[in-house]
Amino acid sequence: MNSLNSTHFVPSIVHPPFFFINGFYNVPHVKYYYIFLCFVFVVTVLGNSFVMFIICIERSFHTPKYITLFNLAVADLCESTALIPNLIATFLFDSQYISFDACLANMFFVFFFSSMQSLILTVMAYDRFVAICLPLRYHTIVTNTTMAVMLIIIWTYVLVIILSTVALITRLSFCRSIVVDSYFCDHGPIYRLACNDNLTNQVMANVNIALFLYIPLIIIMLSYMFISCALFKIATWEGRLKALKTCSSHLILVAIFYFPIIGTYIAAVFFSLHPNARIINTSLSYAIPPMMNPIIYVLNTEEIKECTKKLFKLKKVTATET
């Protein structure tokens, strides 16, 4: 009888049937922002699809550098697809309720592909480091096989970490509010709603920030410190500029991806950011890099520009012949 009575004191996990995404609450003229995000999404899809297409059809691009760029385009395209259409559908059509399972799925895909972007940028820094610091050994160190293995390990590593992070949400009990103060099923605002112990989730959130934001950025900065030292050993300014030009696209991508996110984190620590300002800054930090990455690479990479010109010339010739 005592054992039967004791079962009444076993705490049960309470999962709400849905969450309410609060998002852009009381933001003036917010519908113009949704139109802007629609434009961003269309450009992102077209730009990244074009980069993936051109790398696939052009055999000269089947190299470690472009294999990595292809993976970045996949991550960019999938992250934008996981985030922006849901965001627009949620707020533009006032469907701000999302089921518990759909919320976890949304959280997983957004964080999985954004984390992949960060680590792929780190792999690209490694590629540039070997190319400039060890140019004579580049083709023996960085091969298609080694790059493919490295990328497979990274995809698997990110999958395990993000899946664990999202799975830990299921151990939380939500018995108070179901209002998520974000524009998607954000990990931090959701685990803070729990009414049981969420220390594990808080630790995991900090681990994710370290693994996918701070540590990759530190590695990239260290790689460019070594690259800078190697550049000073080149005798002529022309040689230095030529070597530096091969890094320009990657440096711009790194600046666009990391600085807005880290800037928002730093601002939140030292200042009291208005929730709407934080949400808009974060949403732009997630939306803009996937759009800009293919544009920057197409404009700054001679090989891609030449291949693009050939494609358009070929289309013009076939059009005139028909």
CATH of the domain at 151: 1.20.1070.10
Task: Compute CA distances 165 → 126, 179, 209, 217, whole Å.
Answer: 27, 20, 12, 21
Give dist(CA 164, CA 79) in Å, integer. Answer: 19
Q: What is the pLDDT of residue 301?
A: 77
242 found inside a domain: yes
The answer to whether residues 84 and 40 touch, using CB atoms and an 8 Å cutoff, is yes
**For residue 289, which of 247, 255, 314, 315 has the smallest C-alpha distance?**
255
Kind and range of the H or E element at 189?
Answer: helix 187-191
The answer to whether residues 91 and 183 touch, using CB atoms and an 8 Å cutoff, is yes
Q: What is the pLDDT of residue 68?
A: 95
Give dist(CA 322, CA 320) in Å, integer. Answer: 5
Start-to-end CA span in the chain (Å): 88
Q: Going by C-beta distance under 8 Å and a sequence separation of 6 or more, which residues neighbour residue 159?
A: 112
186 found inside a domain: yes
130 found inside a domain: yes
229 found inside a domain: yes
Burial class for 173, CB neighbours closer than 10 Å (0-12, 13-18, 19+):
middle
The answer to whether residues 144 and 67 touch, using CB atoms and an 8 Å cutoff, is yes
118 found inside a domain: yes
Q: What is the domain range of residue 147?
A: 22-310
Report how many domains make up the chain. Answer: 1
192 found inside a domain: yes
Give dist(CA 80, CA 76) in Å, integer. Answer: 6
Give dist(CA 10, CA 270) in Å, integer. Answer: 42
Which residues, listed in sequence order, are joined to residue 97 by a DSSP beta bridge?
20
5 found inside a domain: no
318 found inside a domain: no
| Residue numbers of the chain with a pLDDT score lower than 50 | 1-10
Task: Please identify which residue in the block is written with the tokens 């664990």.
Answer: 164
Q: DSSP secondary structure string, 135-147?
A: GGGHHHHS-HHHH
Give dist(CA 72, CA 113) in Å, integer. Answer: 9
**Backbone dihedral angles phi then psi of residue 47, each to the nearest 5 degrees:** -65, -50
Give dist(CA 233, CA 137) in Å, integer. Answer: 17
Residue 211, number of CB atoms within 10 A of its CB: 16
Q: Dihedral through CA 248, CA 251, CA 255, CA 258, nearest 10?
A: 160
Give dist(CA 80, CA 286) in Å, integer. Answer: 8
